A and B are shown apart, each in its own frame.
Chain A
């Protein structure tokens, strides 16, 4: 059973376009993290959201945590080729165990 469902699984867009990636669950998490992973490397933490309804911005990336702390979204404005990678959401459970989604593979074409 996949606790965290990410959509879409694959996304290929042109440079300059906007996009949104979704992370959904039926479970409540104490916090949720977003990571970006490039080929041949480990995931790198982008952000942690803790409070329901929280919105965090990181340059052109906007992260939102759902009010019920079950879902989250990542919005990228004016995507650039350097944004290409695998975006993973990960829910933190009370036991501090991190549960990952399958990821969204983003390709931004020049």
Chain B
């Protein structure tokens, strides 16, 4: 079974530029999460999808962050414009009603210079 696939693995951009991350969850997993992990910290939830519906986006900085999950499968997370403080690892995870734990992707390491 293929795991959660994220791309790109690394991204370096200048501040004020836009950036997008892509996630393909495990087939059949209806719940998808985007987390942000700062250096030396645990992951923090940005947004959770149940199928194509965003059911928890309370932690998403909506002035510059947006996300979508068309057709309830793949998802993209966008930042526009990026700020220096956005440098972090962005993790995507998925789960289903049958699984208690999350399966995480390898993450995208974003560096804003």
Give residues in A with beta carbon < 8 Å to B: 4, 31, 33, 40-45, 48, 88, 90, 92, 95, 97-103
In which size bucket is the chain B interface?
Answer: 20 to 34
Contact of B91 among A42, A48, A97 (CB under 8 A): A42
Report yes or no: A98 in contact with B44, Cβ–Cβ below 8 A. no
A48-B100, A102-B42 given; A42·B48 CB < 8 A: no
Give residues in B with beta carbon < 8 Å to A: 4, 33, 40-45, 48, 56, 91, 93, 100-107, 109
Contact of B48 among A31, A41, A44, A97 (CB under 8 A): A97
Shortest distance between the CB of B102 and any CB in chain A (Å): 7
Q: How far is the CA of A4 from the CA of B41 in the complex (A)?
A: 12
Q: How far is the CA of A102 from the CA of B105 in the complex (A)?
A: 19
9 contacts between A and B (CB under 8 A): A40-B109, A42-B104, A42-B107, A43-B104, A97-B56, A98-B33, A98-B102, A99-B45, A100-B43
Q: How far is the CA of A11 from the CA of B93 in the complex (A)?
A: 27
Q: How far is the CA of A24 from the CA of B34 in the complex (A)?
A: 25
